[in-house]
Structures are given as C-alpha cells and as structure tokens.
Amino acid sequence: MDGETIVRVENLVKDFRPGFGLRKKRVLHGISFEVRRGEIFGFIGPNGAGKTTTLKVLMGLIRATSGRAELLGHDVGESAYRRQIGFAPESPYFYDFLTGREILTFYARLCDVEPARIGARVEEVLAQVGLSDAGGARLRTYSKGMLQRIAIAQAIVHDPSVLFLDEPMSGLDPVGRKEIRDLIVRLNADGKTVFMNTHILSDVELICDRVAIIVAGRMAYEGALAAFDGDRKLYDLTLASLPADFAEEIEAQLGVALGGRGERVTLRLGEKELNELLQAALARGARVEELVRHREHLESLFLRAVEAQRQERRS
Amino acid sequence: MNALLAIAGNTVRDAVRNRVLYILVFFALVMIGTSVVLASLSYVERERILQDVGFSAIRLFGATIAIFMGVGLIHREVERRTIYTILSKPVTRATFLAGKYLGLVATLWLQLAIMVAAFVAVSLAAGAPLHPGHFVALALVAVELAVVVAFATLFSSFATPFLAACYSAGLYLVGHLTRDLRAIGATSDSHAVQQATLWIHRLFPDLSALNRGLEAVHDLPIPPAEVGFALLMGVAWSLGFLLVAVVVFERRDFR
C-alpha cells in the first residue's frame, strides 16, 4: 500500500446466479477505483448499477468472482483489520427489543472495545449523533432518521478510521438529510475517511471531495468534483444594450447567432475570449449584466455517463 | 471471546422474547402435570407411568423447541439484515455461528431446567422415587438437545426455515431409528442389507444412545462407560455439524 490509498479495487468482477441451474448474471464488469485517506468519496450510480454489491464485497458480505479488493492494505476476506472500519448499511435494521444504549454496547463488545471504556464511549457517540435523550428508548420506537443515526453511531462506536455508508440520506426529510450530512462532514473533519454510496447527487456535490460513477456494473467516471470542467475554464457573460454593429461583430467573431439587438444576450466564453469581449463591450457602451464562472453540475455529468454507457451497450 | 459471548448473550435475550417458546414450555409443563392424571388411571406402576410420561414430554417438547428455534437461527438474521452490521465488525463467520449456537443451547438448557424442576416437583408430590439415574438421563437429554440444535443450525445456514424444519425433523427421527434399523439389518441374510443398515447407523447420529429414560424410570443401571461414550458422541456430532455449518456459511453470499 502506498500509505495514502485506503480502498483499492482492481478489476472487480461479480457474477450472481439468479436461481439454481440458471445462467450466471454479471453485475460487476471489472471495476477499478481508489479511495484516499481523509477524503469523502461519493460512489454514485443509478439504481441497480452495482453500488451496494461493490460495498458488500468490500465489507466481506459477498465474495468477488475475480479481481482484487483491499481495505487498508488487507484483503477484504480478512476480518481482524475490521476494527479500523465502520459500516452503516442502507435501511438499517437492528435488534429492536434493545435500547439505543444496549445496541451500541453490543457492537462495542463485538469490536473488543475495552469493557471499562464501553459506557463512556457509548454516551460520547450518542451525544455525537444527537441521541443522548433517546438512548434509553427501545429501537422499535425510533423514527427512520433516528435509526439512520444509530446506524452511524454503531459504525463509529469503536472509533474506526474509515467509514462506509450505504445511502445514508435515503428516505430522510430535508432536516434529517442536513443533520446526517453535517455529521458526515464533522466525522471527516475528525480525520475519518468516508466512503458514501448514494444516488442523491445534491448531497454528493455538497460534501464529497471525489466521486466515482458506476453505471450497469462498469465505471463511468472517477475523479475530483472540481475536475468536471476539465482544464479549460468557462464563463457565462450576460450583456445588455448591445449596439447593432457590435452584435454583428460578435456574431462574426464567435460564429454564433445572437437572439436580439439591444436585449440581453448570454455567451459562454473561454478566459481569453472573455477578456477581449469584455473590454470591447465596455468600450462600445454595452452593459454587463452578469458574469459567472460556468460549472458543470454533477447531474449533467452523471446523465452523460449513463447515456454513454447505454449507447455503448447498444452498439 | 468477547464477541462470542456478546452474540450468545444477545441470542438468549432474543430467544426468551419469543412467545411461541413460552406456549411450548407451557404445554410441556401441562403434559408433565397431566402425567399425574394418567398415572391415576392405572392400578399398577403408577409412579413409573407418571415419570415415563413426564420424561417423554421433556424430550418431545425439548426437541420441538430446539428445532423450532434452531431452524430460524441464521435465516432470521439474514432476512432482517442484522447480519450485515455484525459481520462487518471484526467477527468471523465461525464466531458468529458459534455464538448463535451457544446462545440457543443456553436458552434450551434454561427451559430444560424449568421442565426438570416441574418433573421433580410432580414426582415428589406423587411420591415417585427419584434417584441419580434420572439425572443422568436428563443430562443426556441436554446433550441430545445440543446435537439437535447443531443440525438445525446447519440446515438454517443454507435453507429456508420450512425446509430446515423438515430436514431437522427427518434427521431427528432417523437418529432415533438407526440403532433399531441396524439390529434388524443384522438379522438379514443379505450382506448388502447388513452393510447398508450398518452404514446408515454410522453415518447418522445415533440419538437413541442419548435416550436413557427407560433405564432411569425403571431404576435399571446405566453403565458409566456408556454414558461417557454417549456424551463424547454427542459432543463429536455437535462439533461435526457445526464445522459443516461453518464451511457452508463461509461460502455464502449475503445479497
């Protein structure tokens, strides 16, 4: 391991047999990606893309057909190193006859937390996820948002360095989503690397450092959110009160047809064209209404990736 | 070790919440109590009839509860997806399985203790004599329950509760018949029948070796060597079933 790579997945393939005697179905087609220490990594994809399957391979719940998957330099089939990781599954279910405190005590014991420290640690974690007051109530009385928080609490009760969260915001109302999002950011600020499976792109845009997009069991993108635009910076410039002759000049220069004369027009320009046009526009009496850096939204990248995969499969 | 005890303890807590379990224990207690009525219908050997019925009730209900609880032991964890968070911790699948098994055996032994207490109370109330043979036979019932839970756990590790219950009930019956089957086969003129019945007896657990109720009730001696052998056999079969269960469980995908 190079010291910075926490999760390394190489050419991971997973086949499932839908039923006895039936043909195998390939759900992961040799995917590869890496997660680095200290980042919040968003693993995104449409429903059925293979996100949860990948996560289950990483958690040792299902075995890969071929390829490699390593966590902290260990093969995912090992179990001793799991003291350093925490996992909160999607739509978690716990022993609902236990209270919040009891379930966290149970998980702390599974992780070999020192018995003398368990009580204090459980209280600390309950406070961290905002459930101190509800810690004595049975889990069957918990709301979905509270269960989601208990899921994260059990994932951090042994103070792991890496967290795996499967759809942590799914099914929550906007307030609940924000609370969980804030909690993830706080945990990351405390030094935990976070791997997050989700299809809620707005949450990913808000908190993730890097993302990987998986579509139909194949990797479609992996990289930093900031890298979407590529090396070339683009700007959206909105001008108003354009003199007619200047509008024609712009049309000739940029090879575009402007909608009207004297009305508002918006142009997408590179840095060099922007400087030139801006100086010219001001000199000719046009009014600059708005100038913003153009950013590609994750959604458009995501949709493009999905479409590209579909076309590839058709051809 | 911590994880093993935590899983076993939690299994006991989960099991004692099951209402069906209480109903079965209640019926077992009713049956033990009814043995007084049944014994009173006879003019001879009332005490033996009383203890025979009580003993049978303990074994029958014990095995029923063991199968009923054992077949859902792993399946329930997978269905409810509680297994996801447990196996993502530093807990091997073998530890998980062993913890579940030990927890259920502890629960069954607790229930067995309640049934034994009822049996002793009824025997004392009816003036039926109690001697060490009774307790040796009851200890062997405890071992038999551990074997039944082991094969129910094995079936639970790969089959649905219904199928696991069918397999377990079938194996329980076969386990009680292999010794008689071997004895019948030995009287056959056919070498093939002799060999077949011999191998059936060897391949399946001989649960009748753990049934010493008849000797206990009739105050017949139970040779310590046979008790020791039955104990060893029970432990060996339990470990054997659990080992196979671990191998099956290790290969399973939790989708």
Percent of chain B at pLDDT > 70 equals 100
Return the structure tokens found at B33: 């109590």
CATH 3.30.70 residue spans of chain A: 230-294
pLDDT of A226:
65
**Which residues, including other chains, have CB under 8 Å from residue A3's CB and lie 6 or more apart?**
A37
Rg (CA), chain A: 25
Partners of A66 in the β-ladder = A13
Residues of chain A with pLDDT below 50 are: 1-3
* Residues of chain A with a CB closer than 8 angstroms to some CB in chain B: 16, 53, 56, 59-63, 79-83, 85-89, 91-95, 97-98, 106-107, 109-112, 115, 151, 154-155, 158, 164
Indicate the DSSP class of residue B73.
Answer: T
Three-state secondary structure call for residue A35: strand
Please indicate whether residue A228 or residue B84 has the higher confidence score (pLDDT): B84
pLDDT of A3:
47
Rg (CA), chain B: 20
| Beta strands in A182-249, from DSSP E residues, in sequence order | 193-198, 210-215, 218-224, 234-240
**pLDDT tens-digit profile of B123-157?**
888 888 888 888 999 999 999 999 999 999 999 98
Determine the topology of domain A230-294 in CATH: Alpha-Beta Plaits (3.30.70)
Residue ranges covered by each domain of chain B: 2-250
Contact predicate B157/B74, CB 8 Å:
yes
Given an 8 Å threshold on Cβ–Cβ distance, is A110 in contact with B90?
Answer: yes
Q: Give me the interface pTM, i.e. the ipTM.
A: 0.82
Q: What integer best gives the mean pLDDT of chain B?
A: 88
Alpha helices in chain B (DSSP H): 2-15, 19-40, 46-70, 75-79, 82-87, 93-126, 132-156, 161-186, 191-203, 213-217, 224-250
Measuring CA to CA, how many Å separate A50 from each of A32, A36, A45, A93, A169?
A: 13, 21, 8, 21, 18
For residue B23, the distance in angstroms to the closest alpha carbon of chain A comes to 20
Give the CA angle between residues A142, A146, A150 to the nearest 5°: 105
Given an 8 Å threshold on Cβ–Cβ distance, is B87 in contact with A61?
Answer: yes
Contact predicate B43/B37, CB 8 Å:
no
pLDDT of A198:
87
Interface test with B, best of A110, A148, A158, A195 (most B CBs within 10 A): A110
Length of chain A (residues): 315
Nearest CA in chain B to A107: B86
DSSP-derived pairing of the beta strands A25-36 and A74-75: unpaired
pLDDT of A2:
45
Partners of A234 in the β-ladder = A270, A294
Q: Which of A267, A273, A270 is nearest to A288 (CA)?
A: A267
Nearest CA in chain B to A115: B2
Residue B124 CB coordination number (10 Å): 11
Q: Which residues of chain A make contact with B81, given a CB cutoff of 8 A?
A: 89, 91-93
Alpha carbon distance A275, A209 (integer Å): 31
Q: Which of A107, A90, A195 is nearest to A156 (CA)?
A: A107
Alpha carbon distance B151, B179 (integer Å): 19
pLDDT of A237:
86
Alpha carbon distance B238, B60 (integer Å): 19
pLDDT of A165:
94
Tell me the torsion sign for CA atoms A197, A107, B111, B23: negative
Residue B13 CB coordination number (10 Å): 16
Q: Average pLDDT in the B27-50 region?
A: 77
Return the structure tokens found at A169: 């915001």
Residue written as token pair 């190489």? A10
Task: Using pLDDT thresholds of 50, 70 and 90, give the confidence band for residue B234.
Answer: very high
Partners of A238 in the β-ladder = A266, A290
DSSP-derived pairing of the beta strands A85-88 and A162-166: parallel
Nearest CA in chain A to B3: A110
Alpha carbon distance A116, A312 (integer Å): 58
Give the CA angle between residues A168, B94, A105 to the nearest 5°: 50
Q: Which residues of chain B make contact with A86, given a CB cutoff of 8 A?
A: 88
Alpha carbon distance A36, A4 (integer Å): 5
Contact predicate B144/B233, CB 8 Å:
no
pLDDT of A222:
86
Return the structure tokens found at B132: 């060490």
Rounded to 5 degrees, φ, ψ at B247 are -60, -45
Measuring CA to CA, how many Å separate B201 from each of A209, B211, B239?
A: 65, 16, 18
Q: Residue B16: how many CA atoms within 13 Å on its side-chain side?
A: 12
pLDDT of B40:
74
Residue type, B107: T
Please indicate whether residue A216 or residue B38 has the higher confidence score (pLDDT): A216
Q: Which of A91, A92, A97 sits opposite B17 (nearest CB)?
A: A97
Alpha carbon distance A15, B102 (integer Å): 34
CATH 3.40.50.300 residue spans of chain A: 5-227
Determine the topology of domain A5-227 in CATH: Rossmann fold (3.40.50)
Alpha carbon distance B242, A266 (integer Å): 72
Question: Is the Cβ of B19 closer than 8 Å to some Cβ of chain A?
Answer: no
Interface test with A, best of B77, B89, B163, B255 (most A CBs within 10 A): B89
